[in-house]
Amino acid sequence: MLFNKLKEPIFLKANQSAIKQLEALNLYLTTAPNEIKEIIQKDIKFIKYGLNGESNIEFELKNSHLPMYVIHDLVLSYQGNTSQIDYLIIAKSGIYCIECKNLIGDIEINSRDEFIRSYRINGKLIKEALYSPITQNERHYQLIKTIRLAEQTNVIQKFFVDQYFDTYNYSLVVIANPKSILNTKYARKEIKDKVIRADQLVNRIKEDMNNKKNESWMLDKTMEDFANYFITKNKMQNTDYVAKYQTLVLNLKSKESHTNNKIDITQSDLYKRLKNYRLNKSRFDNIKPYFIFNNKELENLVKIKPTCMSELLTIAGFGEVKCNKYGQDILSIINN
């Protein structure tokens, strides 16, 4: 059309929250107590890894030469519900709510819509279920719809937003790790359509644009208005990124003072329940019990009694992999 002059993507917002968090943690690491430095270092590693994944998507979008607006790290809130959207793309084909996943290993989606991640550690193949990123992103998508509907004062306008929202809005999970293999062979079609690799994102948008190229909704002015609308909805967050670590130190010291006594913990009910879990789990997984946790780690579990994943990570021997595989089971036993 005559007034459609936009030829390249326009980026309206960068991911400042993750960068600020990284800066705060690096600074705190220099003075943090030794007992939590390992946790902080792991969190720094995860943040950097996430930023690397998002930069892969940003590279694809910047080199797409497509007319669109890109908002990075958008935070929306409505009636107590908050969503942090990795990318919101306003293109001629519609609005894309993007969840970025920079996962180590290969990803398989089976016929039951389950996400299974596979990777190797020291030559051993690890397979584990992941919380569905589609479900996670669907919450973001639905919050956008809720906000849009709530702001329509005209009954007819509200009807059209509700009726056509799914036509021009897309929920996409983008696998950002270029080394990951995405296997959707047995996934349902509606699931396949919602999960793509980063190097497929631009082609997906192009295909959608071609399918809707004759629709007058796709004007430059319309895209700009939507982009500005979402920018005004972004919730600026003043987050204390080190507060949780300071609280963690206090909790650990409090628990140690109550558990450092002469009681034989091997006779405690918690020790027996954890030991029984270890035995049953090792039989189920066909591995040695000490691969799950050894006796020293078992004693520390009983002494410290971690109540959340951050506290579990403070215990020697419980790294990311072990916590991902057994953490929720262990915490459930301790907390019940």
- Domain assignment present for residue 212? The answer is yes
Which DSSP state fits 265? G
Poorest-pLDDT segment among 100-104, 237-241, 265-269: 237-241
Q: Tell whether 1 is covered by a domain.
A: no
pLDDT at residue 59 above 90? yes
Residue 2 lies in a domain: no
pLDDT digits (tens, 9 = 90+) for 268-280: 889 999 999 999 8
For 192-234, give the DSSP string.
HTTEEEGGGHHHHHHHHHHHTTT-TT--HHHHHHHHHHHHHH-
| Structure-block tokens of residue 278 | 């270890």
Residue 129 lies in a domain: yes
Q: Looking at the structure, tell me whether residues 200 and 289 fall in a common domain.
A: no
Same domain for 26 and 77, yes or no, is: yes
- Report the Cα 20 to chain-centroid distance in Å: 18
3-state class (DSSP) for residue 151: coil
Question: Is 42 part of any domain?
Answer: yes
| Beta strands 94-101; 169-175: pairing state | parallel
pTM: 0.73
Task: Judge if 164 and 274 occupy the same domain.
Answer: no
pLDDT of residue 1: 45
Same domain, 261 and 220: no
pLDDT of residue 259: 54
C-alpha atoms less than 13 angstroms from C-alpha of 7 in its C-beta half-sphere: 1
225 in the same domain as 263: no
Number of structural domains (the chain) is: 2
Given 233, 259, 280, which residue is the final one in a domain? 233
Mean pLDDT of 233-253: 77
pLDDT value of position 2: 45
Verify that 33 and 174 share a domain, yes or no: yes
pLDDT of 3: 54
pLDDT tens for 164-198 read 999 999 999 999 999 999 999 999 999 999 999 99
- Per cent of the chain over pLDDT 70 is 92
Reported confidence tier of residue 97, pLDDT bands at 50, 70, 90: very high
Whether residue 103 is found in the same domain as residue 186: yes
170 and 247 fall within a common domain: no
Q: Quick check: is 45 in a domain?
A: yes
The domain boundary residue, chosen from 233, 253, 285: 233
Domain limits for position 137: 10-233
14 pLDDT above the threshold of 70: no
Average pLDDT over residues 35-54: 86
What is the layout of strands, in order, in the sheet containing 81-91? 10-13, 68-78, 81-91, 94-101, 169-175, 195-197
Same domain membership, residue 157 and residue 34: yes
Residues 179 and 45 in one domain: yes
Domain C-terminal end among 205, 233, 261: 233
Residue 69 domain flag: yes
N-term to C-term CA, the chain: 64
The verdict on 275 and 188 lying in the same domain is: no
| Residue 68 and residue 158 share a domain | yes
pLDDT at 258 over 60: no
Judge whether 312 lies within some domain: yes
How many Å apart are CA 49 and CA 102, to the nearest integer? Answer: 7
3-class state of residue 69 by DSSP: strand
